Structure 1
Amino acid sequence: MYVTTEYDDIRIPVANKRGQINEKPETIAKYNEFMSGVDRQDQLLAIYPCERKTLRWYLKLAIHTFQLLFINSYKMYNKYSGKPKMTLYDYRLAVINELLPEKNTAVSVPTGPSRAKTSREVPHKISKITERNSKGNIKRKMCRMCSKSQKIRRDSMWHCETCIDKPGLCFECFDEFHLSI
């Protein structure tokens, strides 16, 4: 809903990103045309809200400032990196993965002097599936542990690159799977 006296209540044709033409009220079309900066930033901030009622005002201010810096770095990455644009969700995951310490999920097995390395001694790392189907969507694999132990079907977009058959695994099942092999 909107209230304005600046524009008449008429509908004008507007093309979207795909080139399709739709009719929108002139007020909405003008708002979308000139929307930038603060409006777009508020829209991105609203996706992952971090403020809570119980925080002190200075903590809210610090968290809000950190979020603004994060969104600015996201915009700069997409603009200047020269790589394909990332979604805000994928960017957040990439930053979190870089900030977290390297987790070695290798299971230690006593080795003899002549014994070759087994799959248990190789460090396993969970990674996102990059293969795409015919529609261009990321392929998903069924989580092997959820289907085996809990008898439920859970599709996952993660798998273990190191394992021979690259089994689909969700985050919760990754360590459990590698302890059981």
Structure 2
Amino acid sequence: MTSVNKIQVRTNVYYEFLQSPNAADATVHICAPFKGDVISRWTVNRLYQRFKLGDISLENRPRSGRPTDCNDEALRDALREKPSATTRELSMTLRPSASDLLVKMRSRFQHRATEPVFHTLANASEVRYVRKTSLEQQSSRSNGSDNALRLPQIETLSRERRTDSAPANIQGLSRNKYLRES
């Protein structure tokens, strides 16, 4: 059977509508040259109703519901504005569903891991950590194991402690893993 697009078939339905008001006969006349079911009788009935109301457009009508596609530029701008936005927040502003948005982000944008964030230990936590490990170290020495790790003292820990700021070599990168830097 020959492949026929919807607009060609709808053009034939409109021609048959102008020739005869019977949708069942129109279906037979349209399907006969193609030797198959190109269009169903119910579709012809629906198109006849549209034509009777004066709507002779042959294109698809807009459908109800959420659109499944969104603009790439709008998505890119939203990610630049708020890099930490979740897919749920983006779907509320851009209108596709969150799962469609996630699929689109994974397929269209470069996936890059976010920059590392180094967290600080409170002074009390550092003291507890050093005391606990130094006690473990002393107990391992008493057991005769000489290959125990030597842990730095509290002064060394406080000097080398990291903050929440990123290291200097990756500060220029965006925090969002889906957004390419321009």
Band the TM-score falls in, shorter-chain normalisation: under 0.3
Q: Return the structure number with greater relative CO, CA threshold 8 A, min gap 6.
A: 2
The TM-score normalised by the length of structure 1 is 0.19
Structure whose alpha-carbon radius of gyration is higher? 2
Q: Which has more strand, going by share of residues? A: 1
The TM-score normalised by the length of structure 2 is 0.19
Q: Which has more helix, going by share of residues? A: 2
